């Protein structure tokens, strides 16, 4: 999706109305007015009025048919950090849902890339914000995509860092979330700044490969539509797409830099109403054109790890030209393009992380492992920071992040020192657990406390993993001892 040129609030409202006819457009307009006033007088490095930035990010999301609540929050996303207007003001004017989203993105902060530790700390914040509400990441991606679009106005060093971060951190996360469109944007916009020479080279290769082929592909698309129609298969859409540059670059690396080994530089997509239509279309294509051996992929019965579903086939098309086809339903298509964001499309509106999707926490930990593995060759990095974090939930759905191996007692102390001191038992995923049970990603943990409990047990020090728990236990035991000592002393004193 291209960024909108000369974005306006009017245009934004029109876009939203098209896919979300029941949306409360007043809220969007109010959010815009509120942000425009708060940013009054501020300019971007490009010289444009600041409001163009949140407005552009909002347009990008509207183009992806994202839930209008997220769009309202995106309009407001830089207000608390950059103006005198506070989160409380936003809460008062827009309520807690929008304020919560703005708080989430504000917590992430601006990119402050000073030293590795700082950087890792930022990452940690990002994972927590994500675990709390995935919608914050959707806002962050739109924010970043607009920033990447205007990167030329920043000094080269800064450009490089922002692009590198987008390429190495944000794009893989978008990929994991199955948000193909945003992943592709993040990659291609960053590619030219991170690897400028390779970018030029790959672009030249693609342009050469596709030069003068337009009418040929038009013909194939026409013939495909025709044949499907004759066979009684309805199509929602048949269209061509050329491979994104960064994705082509990576494929070229895997294919010995030989463009003739890349079959999907240009591919034809067939969108049909039902799964049965997908298989029917595949059959029709194969009677029309001979498929290449080993190139038929059924990602419908066996989806990719990120949930991607489609049928792929590569055929010898007219004149022996090799063409890839990708066949899917509209639902599969939306999922592939917008991923997690598709779940927040207006008609399927859901608020917080739904309980049944708590497996998301496991997914999150995988993303984090991938990224930390990538970064682990940085020498200066502190082992502590590298410790894998797990994300567990309170019964209310709040996220607590802990190091791997942390126990129920660690969890209790992270809730509150009193909860730790008074804990006597624990329910893990609605089952009784032991206090020294190791917690796993996505566990829902409920601590049982007894207000008559004197305090922590010395034994707990044998199994707790976090610094917080250790220090609290030690200091409480010291206090207990002190008070025991003072009682003893009192007892020993002669009565008056």
**Catalytic residue among 24, 33, 48, 81, which?**
81
CB 151 within 8 A of CB 193: yes
- CB 172 to Mn ion: min, Å: 21
Site string for Mn ion, 55-84 (x = CB under 5 A): -----------------------x------
Pairwise CA distance, residues 250 & 264, whole Å: 13
User: Which C-beta is closer to Mn ion: that of 86 or that of 261?
Assistant: 86
- CB 118 to Mn ion: min, Å: 19
**Catalytic residue among 33, 67, 82, 218, which?**
82
Binding of Mn ion by 52 (CB under 5 A) = no
User: Which C-beta is closer to Mn ion: that of 78 or that of 334?
Assistant: 78
Kindly give, in sequence order, each residue whose CB lies less than 8 Å from that of residue 276, ignoring residues fewer than 6 positions away. Answer: none
- CB 78 to Mn ion: min, Å: 5
Number of C-beta neighbours around residue 9 at 10 A: 18
- CB 144 to Mn ion: min, Å: 8
Angle between helices 156-165 and 180-194 (to 10 degrees): 150
Binding of Mn ion by 363 (CB under 5 A) = no
- CB 39 to Mn ion: min, Å: 11
Tell me if residue 421 is catalytic. Answer: no
Binding of Mn ion by 104 (CB under 5 A) = no
User: Which C-beta is closer to Mn ion: that of 143 or that of 410?
Assistant: 143
φ/ψ of 293, rounded to 5, equals -65, 140
- CB 142 to Mn ion: min, Å: 9
User: Which C-beta is closer to Mn ion: that of 39 or that of 389?
Assistant: 39
User: Which C-beta is closer to Mn ion: that of 125 or that of 454?
Assistant: 125
CB 131 within 8 A of CB 401: yes
CB 336 within 8 A of CB 308: yes
Tell me how many residues contact Mn ion (CB under 5 A): 2
* Per-residue exposure over 243-279, b if at least 16 CB sit within 10 Å of its own CB, e if not: bbbbbbbebbeeeeeeeeebbbbbbbbbbbeebebbb
Burial category of 218 from C-beta neighbours within 10 Å (exposed 0-12, middle 13-18, buried 19 and up): exposed
Of 326, 336, 342, nearest to 306 by C-alpha is: 336
Tell me if residue 82 is catalytic. Answer: yes
- CB 246 to Mn ion: min, Å: 23
Pairwise CA distance, residues 491 & 474, whole Å: 25
Pairwise CA distance, residues 14 & 3, whole Å: 16
User: Which C-beta is closer to Mn ion: that of 82 or that of 198?
Assistant: 82
CB 259 within 8 A of CB 205: yes
CB 146 within 8 A of CB 162: no
CB 337 within 8 A of CB 182: no
User: Which C-beta is closer to Mn ion: that of 144 or that of 328?
Assistant: 144
Q: 67, 132, 133, 143: which one contacts Mn ion (CB under 5 A)?
A: 143
Q: Nearest residue by C-beta to Mn ion? A: 143
User: Which C-beta is closer to Mn ion: that of 112 or that of 467?
Assistant: 112
The stretch among 60-68, 143-151, 205-213, 353-361 that binds Mn ion (CB under 5 A) is 143-151
CB 394 within 8 A of CB 446: yes
Of 63, 92, 65, nearest to 76 by C-alpha is: 92
User: Which C-beta is closer to Mn ion: that of 78 or that of 277?
Assistant: 78
Active site residues: 81-82
By CB under 5 A, name the binding residues for Mn ion. 78, 143
């Amino acid at each position: 999706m291209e960024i909108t040129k000369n974005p306006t609030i009017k245009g934004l409202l029109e876009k939203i109305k098209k896919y979300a006819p029941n949306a409360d457009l007043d809220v969007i307009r109010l959010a815009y007015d509120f942000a425009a006033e708060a940013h009054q007088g501020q300019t971007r490095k490009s010289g444009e009025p600041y409001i163009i930035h949140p407005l552009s990010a909002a347009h990008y999301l509207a183009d992806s048919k994202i839930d209008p609540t997220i769009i309202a929050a995106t309009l407001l996303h830089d207000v608390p950090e950059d103006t005198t207007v506070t989160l409380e003001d936003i809460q008062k004017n827009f309520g807690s849902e929008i304020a919560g989203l703005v708080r989430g993105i504000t917590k992430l902060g601006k990119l402050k890339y000073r030293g590795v530790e700082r950087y890792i700390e930022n990452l940690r914040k990002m994972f927590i914000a994500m675990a709390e509400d995935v919608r914050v990441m959707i806002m962050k991606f739109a924010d970043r995509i607009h920033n990447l679009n205007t990167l030329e106005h920043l000094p080269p060093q800064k450009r490089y860092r922002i692009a590198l971060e987008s390429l190495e951190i944000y794009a893989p996360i978008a990929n994991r979330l199955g948000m193909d469109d945003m992943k592709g944007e993040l990659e291609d916009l960053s590619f030219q700044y991170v690897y400028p020479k390779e970018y030029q080279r790959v672009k030249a290769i693609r342009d050469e490969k596709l030069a003068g082929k337009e009418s040929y592909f038009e013909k194939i698309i026409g013939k495909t539509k025709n044949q499907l129609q004759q066979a009684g298969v309805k199509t929602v859409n048949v269209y061509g797409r050329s491979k994104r540059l960064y994705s082509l670059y990576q494929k070229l690396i895997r294919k010995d830099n030989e463009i003739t080994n890349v079959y999907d530089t240009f591919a034809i997509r067939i969108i049909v109403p039902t799964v049965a239509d997908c298989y029917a279309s595949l059959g029709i294509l194969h009677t029309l054109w001979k498929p290449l051996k080993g190139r038929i992929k059924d990602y419908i019965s066996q989806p990719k790890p990120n949930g991607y579903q489609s049928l792929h086939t590569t055929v010898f098309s007219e004149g022996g030209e090799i063409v890839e086809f990708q066949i899917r339903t509209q639902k599969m298509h939306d999922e592939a393009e917008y991923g997690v964001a598709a779940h927040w499309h207006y008609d399927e509106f859901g608020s917080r992380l739904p309980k049944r999707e708590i497996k998301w926490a496991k997914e999150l930990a995988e993303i984090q492992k991938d990224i930390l593995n990538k970064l682990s060759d940085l020498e200066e990095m502190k082992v502590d920071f590298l410790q894998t974090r797990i994300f567990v939930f309170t019964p209310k759905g709040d996220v607590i992040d802990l190091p791997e191996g942390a126990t129920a007692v660690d969890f209790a102390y992270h809730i509150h020192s009193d909860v730790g001191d008074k804990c006597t038992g624990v329910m893990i995923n609605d089952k009784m657990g032991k206090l020294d049970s190791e917690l796993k990603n996505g566990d829902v943990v409920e601590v049982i406390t007894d207000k008559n409990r004197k305090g922590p047990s010395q034994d707990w020090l044998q199994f707790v993993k976090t610094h917080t728990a250790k220090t609290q236990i030690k200091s409480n035991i010291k206090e207990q001892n002190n008070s025991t000592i003072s009682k003893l002393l009192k007892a020993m004193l002669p009565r008056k």
